Amino acid sequence: MKVTIKKWNAVGTWRWDLPEDDVCGICQVAFDGTCPACKYPGDDCSIQSGKCGHNFHMHCIQEWIKQDSAKGQCPMCRQKFEWNDQSNKNRTVVAV
């Protein structure tokens, strides 16, 4: 018997390539959720990784870093927070 596939539907989902129960320390929302300002997770509410190894929602860490009292430091370890530009590598597509 020969089967010809006439059409097929692909469904995909994704999550950030971070431990599943990891939350943003600033808003305490899971990384797969959004920061409190956004409605939908994804590129518009991305994750910012610091060179110190700590991750935050980009909007959350920006809100903190613009404070004078932040002194440019990571809220977790108080090292200078330096953007790690490869944050998109954290995104993994998971097939379902």
Partner 1 sequence: MGGTFTSSNLDQTLRVSYQLLPTEGTSAWSSRFQAKRLGKELQKINNGLPPGIELVKADNLEDWLLDIRVLDNNPLYLNQTYRLKFKFSSTYPIEPPEVTFVKDTDHAIPMHPHIYSNGIICLDLLGQQGWSPVQNVESVCMSLQSMLTGNTKDERPPGDEEFVRANRLRPKDIDFYYHDNTV
Per CB under 8 A, 9 contacts partner 1: yes
SS3 77: coil
Nearer Cβ to partner 1 (1/55): 55
Q: Does the protein bind partner 1 through residue 75 (CB under 8 A)?
A: yes
Question: What x-and-dash track marks residues 34-73 binding partner 1 by CB under 8 A?
Answer: -xxxxxxxxxx---------------x--xx--x-x----
Decide: 57 and 45 in contact? Cβ < 8 Å. Answer: yes
Q: Is 2 in the site for partner 1 (CB under 8 A)?
A: no
**Tokens 């018997």, residue?**
1
Cβ closest to partner 1, residue 1 vs residue 69: 69
Question: Quick one: 5 exposed, middle or buried, by C-beta within 10 A (0-12, 13-18, 19+)?
Answer: exposed
